[in-house]
């Protein structure tokens, strides 16, 4: 067995797959000591998006929270945790409304979680209280971790209002769409987006005029390498969305140029886990079968493909 030096095991978006999480932790040499899963000389570092989608969301939260509270793990916030907080937070400007409107779409996206905790219960409030303690990014020991995008101007802007602790504040949760703070928070947790024409439909039918942007792309001004359409995207007439051409796009963020490596989740990457650049790697992968991916970081400034580990994939 490979000897692991001290460092961080950066674990991708779990989305309620608690069985996969425990399998991955076990595979990486973590053991459950009755209080939490723990490694003798390493820490787990979760990229967020613990909830929504999968079947074991409450158990996922409980496993991760126990690890964080007992010092066996760290975590950064995902857009699904932010959404969960906005879903229960009244808009200070219009107190009869929630910051995340309770639309059919937002309710459906969140309903497995809401059913698991029972909406409005003490348990629900306790989980939200813990979510409020999750920092927006990690930047220490020669490593950076963020849910979606390490955009230095956005992070510097957020630091001006919330400081280096990277903790969400009530004012930041309530920042209005169109404000600099709202844009910076969206860039960091949801990733930058670009306009796309014609619009596309997600597999479930929702229409969108913006697409995710491959902020790590070496050719960010070519539509084909810059736009990330979801699998199964269609045109409004129902036909498959055509292949993207080499139309020029204006990158919404500057390329990442620092020497500190960045690990992130969010992007549903396909295929065998691999780095994107020597400084950038995503740990959120969708494979043929359900799988959870981690990057076992041991202090290196240059990321390498040998550090990925996955569990649950039958390839
Ligand atoms: Mn996400």
Cα 265 to averaged position of ligand 1 atoms, centre (Å): 7
Whole-angstrom distance, CA of residue 33 vs CA of residue 266? 30
Do 212 and 303 sit in the same domain of this protein?
no
Average pLDDT over residues 15-44: 96
Neighbours of 225 (CB within 10 A): 15
Task: Specify whether 219 is located in the same domain as 248.
Answer: yes
- Residue tagged 């539509």 (tokens): 223
Check whether residue 203 and residue 185 sit in a common domain: no
Look up the CATH number of the domain holding residue 188. Answer: 3.60.21.10
Mean pLDDT across 266-270: 93
Same domain? For 129 and 221 the reply is no
Going from the Cα of 77 to the center of ligand 1, the distance in angstroms, rounded, reads 9
H-state helical runs in the chain: 18-27, 57-69, 79-88, 104-117, 122-131, 152-162, 170-173, 180-190, 223-226
Min mean pLDDT across 28-32, 193-197, 286-290, 295-299 is at: 286-290
- Asked whether residue 261 is domain-assigned, the answer is yes
Rg of the chain taking only CA atoms, in angstroms: 19
Q: Do 273 and 221 sit in the same domain of this protein?
A: no
Q: Please tell me the distance between residue 284's alpha carbon and the centre of ligand 1 in angstroms.
A: 9
Give the length of the chain.
315
How far apart CA 239 and CA 314 sit, in angstroms, is 32
pLDDT digits (tens, 9 = 90+) for 183-240: 999 999 999 999 999 999 998 889 999 999 999 998 889 999 999 999 899 999 999 9
Ligand 1 centroid distance, CA of 138 (Å): 16
Confidence of residue 286 (pLDDT cuts 50, 70, 90): confident
- Same structural domain for residues 172 and 278? yes
Quick: pLDDT tens for 80-126. Answer: 999 999 999 999 989 899 999 999 999 999 999 999 999 999 999 99
The rounded Å distance from CA 51 to ligand 1 centre is: 10
- Could you tell me if 13 and 94 lie in one domain? yes
**pLDDT(291) > 90:** no
Q: Is residue 2 part of a domain?
A: no
Query: How many domains is the chain partitioned into structurally?
Result: 2
1, part of any domain: no
Last residue in a domain, options 232, 252, 272:
252
Structural domain contains residue 16: yes
Domain boundary among 252, 280, 299: 252
In a domain, 130, yes or no: yes
Is residue 138 domain-shared with residue 201, that is, in the same domain? no
Judged by DSSP in three states, 190 sits in helix
* Rounded distance from Cα 59 to ligand 1 centre (Å): 19
Q: How far is the CA of 3 from the centre of ligand 1 (A)?
A: 32
CA of 154 to the centre of ligand 1 (A): 17
The CA distance from 90 to 199, in Å, is 32
Please check whether residues 64 and 178 belong to one and the same domain: yes
Q: What separation in Å is there between the alpha carbon of 81 and the centre of ligand 1?
A: 9
Q: Which residues contact 130 (CB under 8 A, 6 or more apart)?
A: 61, 65
Same domain flag for 130 and 211: no
Whole domain around residue 211: which residue ranges? 193-252
Q: Residues 228, 243: one domain?
A: yes
Q: What is the pLDDT of residues 61-86, one digit of tens each?
A: 999 999 999 999 999 999 999 999 99
**Percent of the chain's residues with pLDDT above 70:** 97
Residues 80, 126: one domain? yes
Q: How far is the CA of 2 from the centre of ligand 1 (A)?
A: 31
How many A from CA of 306 to the centre of ligand 1?
Answer: 24
């Amino acid at each position: 067995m490979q000897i692991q030096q001290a460092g961080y095991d950066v674990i991708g978006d779990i989305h309620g797959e608690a069985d996969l999480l425990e399998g991955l932790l076990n595979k990486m040499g973590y053991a459950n000591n009755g209080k939490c899963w723990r490694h003798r000389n390493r820490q787990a570092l979760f990229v967020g998006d613990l909830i929504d989608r999968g079947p074991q969301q409450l158990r996922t939260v409980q496993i991760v929270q126990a690890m964080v509270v007992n010092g066996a793990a760290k975590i950064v916030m995902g857009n699904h945790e932010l959404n969960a907080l906005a879903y229960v937070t009244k808009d200070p400007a219009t107190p009869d409304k929630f910051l995340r409107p309770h639309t059919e779409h937002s309710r459906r996206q969140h309903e497995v979680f809401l059913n698991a905790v029972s909406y409005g219960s003490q348990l629900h409030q306790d989980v939200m209280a813990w979510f409020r303690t999750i920092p927006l990014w990690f930047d220490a020991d020669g490593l950076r971790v963020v849910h979606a995008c390490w955009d230095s101007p956005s992070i510097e802007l957020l630091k001006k209002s919330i400081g280096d602790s990277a903790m969400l504040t009530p004012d930041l949760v309530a920042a209005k769409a169109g404000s600099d703070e709202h844009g910076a928070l969206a860039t960091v947790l949801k990733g930058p987006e670009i306009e796309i024409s014609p619009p596309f439909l997600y597999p479930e039918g929702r229409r969108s005029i913006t697409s995710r942007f491959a902020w790590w792309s070496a050719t960010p001004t070519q539509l084909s390498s810059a736009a990330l359409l979801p699998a199964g995207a269609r045109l409004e007439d129902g036909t498959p969305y055509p292949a993207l051409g080499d139309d020029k796009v204006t990158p919404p963020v500057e390329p990442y140029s620092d020497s500190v490596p960045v690990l992130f989740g969010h992007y549903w990457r396909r295929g065998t886990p691999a780095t994107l650049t020597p400084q950038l790697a995503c740990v959120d992968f969708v494979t043929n079968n359900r799988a959870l991916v981690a990057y076992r970081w041991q202090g290196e400034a240059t990321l390498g493909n040998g550090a990925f580990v996955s569990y649950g994939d039958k390839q």
